[in-house]
Structure 1
Amino acid sequence: MVVTADHNDVLTTKATRVPRVDDGVRKLMDDMVETMFSANGVGLAAPQVNVPWRVIVLRVENQIYQLANPEMVRCEGDQTGPEGCLSVPGLVGDVTRCLRVVAKGVNRHGKEIRVKGDGLLARAIQHEIDHLDGILFTSRAVEGSLREIVKEEVPDVVTAV
């Protein structure tokens, strides 16, 4: 799979709900995880690989999360920090997000689950759900915080979500 660049309309269009998790959706999830690992990302949304479905995958602290039709259930506190995006390479900006979240969705087995997270996991969940709603992190960045980065700077910022 190839990560879609920020000029593609699929990234600014609301994604379609997945009617049910079947073998095709599971294959998509697996392919997205592989693509996320290859790109050294923290998360990936289906629109980022040119698939207009509400599917996200995340990797935080060696834990993999795969969700279809994710929705935010609870959002508490604030955190502001740097974000990047695999679909917007070379750009980073400070974004204010909820510090703690609970999201619900359907796992790869078709069961509804809830994912609780704080810090980076909370940030990644919100970032990927934004992708499903056609929102890029650049539109949420604190005014004046967007900046170009060079490859050598990447360890100093949050890995692209």
Structure 2
Amino acid sequence: MIRPLEISQRDAAVTLWETCGLVRPWNDPYADLDRAMSGRRSTVLGAFENRTLVATAMVGDDGHRGWVYYLAVDPEYRGRQLGRALMQACETWLAGRGAPKLNVMIRGDNAVTRGFYEALGYTQDDVVVYSRRFSDAGSPSA
């Protein structure tokens, strides 16, 4: 069953993200999750087996396009089409809000994940992403 996470499941989600290697030192996964769950334009979907969280996807609409982050499937549950099902749920969630496009960002050296999205029909766009991190106070860091 796929449904939005409840706040009581945040520890389970972050543990799953850590298990799947998605957490980076410069991102606070709890802050990311709280921001997504409290926003009007975003949510975190979870797949459950016997009330146990086994997969997640953070989905949001920035007003121009949709984005998916933290797609994670517990290694013990891989091969059961959960990633595919979560992406379909994200696409449905975004289409229901009128988003014309869904983007995902994948680290360049992650060939397995790139292959997963290609198998779902996603294609690589000819773009370069630049970023700037903000300090904890919310202002650009030096």
Q: Tell me the TM-score normalised to structure 2 length.
A: 0.29
Which of the pair is proportionally richer in helix? Answer: 2
Q: Tell me the TM-score normalised to structure 1 length.
A: 0.27
Which of the pair is proportionally richer in strand? Answer: 1
- Structure with larger RCO (C-alpha < 8 A, sep 6+): 1
